[in-house]
Structure 1
């Protein structure tokens, strides 16, 4: 295992001039030895390019890749000692499950001292047990389901103890949805037990937030935030993170400072101090989970007209319309709230008051979080 330091940019076309010309805009990033990381973002954001640069399948057009402080930018995946698991199974159908799991170890036997036949059997048994395949070690892979074959691929990536890192490129694509949940939990358990450095590419936020200790959120070739699941949810550093993380994502409302308070959709909320720290265009961000029903005229609340109320099962999703052309951007604003099913749920057409400002409110300028607003947010004046 090794600490991985990246200081690079990458473009597939020569002489890039604009941001749009880059698959990866300039970034500096460190993956610590033994950490579990996820690269999360929509298709085309650069996460697979970044993974392939780490593995050595792609050489960055600018900058360096270092493993354990050593520059490995020009080295192959074999020289970097990387294990990689792809979207679809990469196994030998003519071999048994046990032979497939043992193959990476047998390949390294000459170069790794202490890798005796007994140790190989022990390691294969350990990985098979973790993946709940102990009873299939003597089963030929050709007759197995796609799910089982991909579990073998995961095992082949995890079986070696001497790797610098194990890289996963959306490895659960072909897995049955029910089994996906089990394997996400299993990978988390395996990481805790084996202490391998794992880097996992996905566009599925549930996979990323379940598996990884640290998540790298990417968009348009840029890494916009690296953090834990709670940090990404509670304090998105970029509007894209607030939008992408959560179901549904964060509400964003244009706001402005109106002298004694915050103008939100035409209603001035009295504030003890200005949370915006300047003039210009700003956005208030608040997650649907933290939008609550309030008493009429309550401090920190705004009136809204309910447009829909949808029963999701464990909660109700309320859609509402704020203002009537007098907001900070001169237009009507919409907002979503997640409400508990055990409270009275308004119906479409009802007028409600929604509380927006509190400890979980975030403020953004030019899509970036205003960092010097404390976690306690800004108190509403009485």
Structure 2
């Protein structure tokens, strides 16, 4: 395995003049040896472009790539010693399952006994032991993709294993099993794994560190809890969570937070209060999970006109509009308990917004927080 250091940018057009011309904006980042990472973001955000730059399928138009301190920017994938698993199965249909798994090892002259041992071990991990003698051409798409995963995992000498949305053709139940298997394999072998996906569940359950990307830029890097609790950018707040974070417009007035014409005085560190005062206008971010029903006497609660109250089974999802004198000031979604069953469209519900989980954003960027 290897440490991978990136200092690069990429544009598919010559002489780029603006950020819009870049598929990847300037990025400096390091993947530590033995780490499990996910590149997460919507289609077109630059995930696969970045992965192809790492693998050597694409040379970045600017900058360089280092593997363990060695400049590999001009090297081929073979010279970089990379294994890559693609979105759709890449296997030899004329070979058996066992022959497909063994091929990367035999191609490198690995002794036969070692090939058999390694193939048997990877096949057991992926529940392919009973299919080793079957011809790959007769298997379903999800079984073929498991072979692709196995071909990527069978080698022990690779610098890194790259996964480009490898579970697209896998049914939902098997996806969960394979994510768990990949996690177990990583913990056992400490492989350097980089996994591209647009599915937040895949990213947050698989990776130790998630790189959230938007419009060619890495907007936040961190573990799952940091992305959920303190999104560094409003995009991360929207993208992570189901539903995403609520964002409400607010201003600083008379030493307090003015939201929808009402003044609130949440407990804020001095640095946060100073940043909000200097900005004048900002946005308050709160997760639906951290909203609670309250009474109209609660000084941290806002009035919301209920639009919908949906029974999801394990919780109620309440959608409403924040009320102010001149109309409405934004939409709120709250994940509530059984107490929400009594709410009806048109009701006014008071929701407690300000707590230790509440975030504040100036120009879409999180104001750094420390507990008062």
Question: Which residue number corresponds to residue 215 of structure 2?
Answer: 220
How far apart are the structure 2 equivalents of 1:211 and 1:223?
A: 19
The secondary structure found in structure 2 opposite 1:142 is helix
The secondary structure found in structure 2 opposite 1:185 is helix
Aligned partners of 1:282 and 1:364 also within 8 Å: yes
- Cα deviation 1:168-207 (Å, max 9, x = unaligned): 0000111112211111111111111121100000001011
Asked if residue 152 in structure 1 is aligned to residue 150 in structure 2, the reply is no
Q: Structure 1: any 5+ residue segments left out of the alignment?
A: 110-114
How far apart are the structure 2 equivalents of 1:341 and 1:152?
A: 46
Question: Which residue number corresponds to residue 337 of structure 1?
Answer: 334
How far apart are the structure 2 equivalents of 1:15 and 1:269?
A: 50
- Cα deviation 1:27-77 (Å, max 9, x = unaligned): 101000000000000000000000000000000000000000000000000
Shift of 1:241: 0.3
How far apart are the structure 2 equivalents of 1:263 and 1:342?
A: 28
The secondary structure found in structure 1 opposite 2:157 is coil
Question: Which residue number corresponds to residue 172 of structure 2?
Answer: 177
Please list, as runs of the form range in 1=range in 2, the aligned pairs for 1:129-278 lying within 5 A after superposition: 129-271=124-266, 274=273, 276-278=276-278
The secondary structure found in structure 1 opposite 2:38 is strand
Shift of 1:101: 0.3
- Cα deviation 1:243-267 (Å, max 9, x = unaligned): 0000000000011111132111221
The secondary structure found in structure 1 opposite 2:170 is coil
How far apart are the structure 2 equivalents of 1:277 and 1:188?
A: 45
Please list, as runs of the form range in 1=range in 2, the aligned pairs for 1:65-144 lying within 5 A after superposition: 65-109=65-109, 115-144=110-139
| Larger helix percent | 2
The secondary structure found in structure 2 opposite 1:64 is strand
Aligned partners of 1:255 and 1:262 also within 8 Å: yes
Count of residues in Structure 1 that have an aligned counterpart in Structure 2: 367
Shift of 1:280: 2.9
Task: Give the TM-score taking structure 1 as reference length.
Answer: 0.93
Task: Give me the CA root mean square deviation.
Answer: 1.4
How far apart are the structure 1 equivalents of 2:256 and 2:288?
A: 23
Question: Which residue number corresponds to residue 356 of structure 1?
Answer: 353
Aligned partners of 2:41 and 2:212 also within 8 Å: yes
Please list, as runs of the form range in 1=range in 2, the aligned pairs for 1:313-332 lying within 5 A after superposition: 313-324=313-324, 326=326, 332=329
Question: Which residue number corresponds to residue 311 of structure 1?
Answer: 311
Task: Give the TM-score taking structure 2 as reference length.
Answer: 0.96
How far apart are the structure 2 equivalents of 1:341 and 1:138?
A: 54
The secondary structure found in structure 1 opposite 2:147 is helix
Question: Which residue number corresponds to residue 292 of structure 2?
Answer: 292
Q: Structure 2: any 5+ residue segments left out of the alignment?
A: none
How far apart are the structure 1 equivalents of 2:119 and 2:103?
A: 10
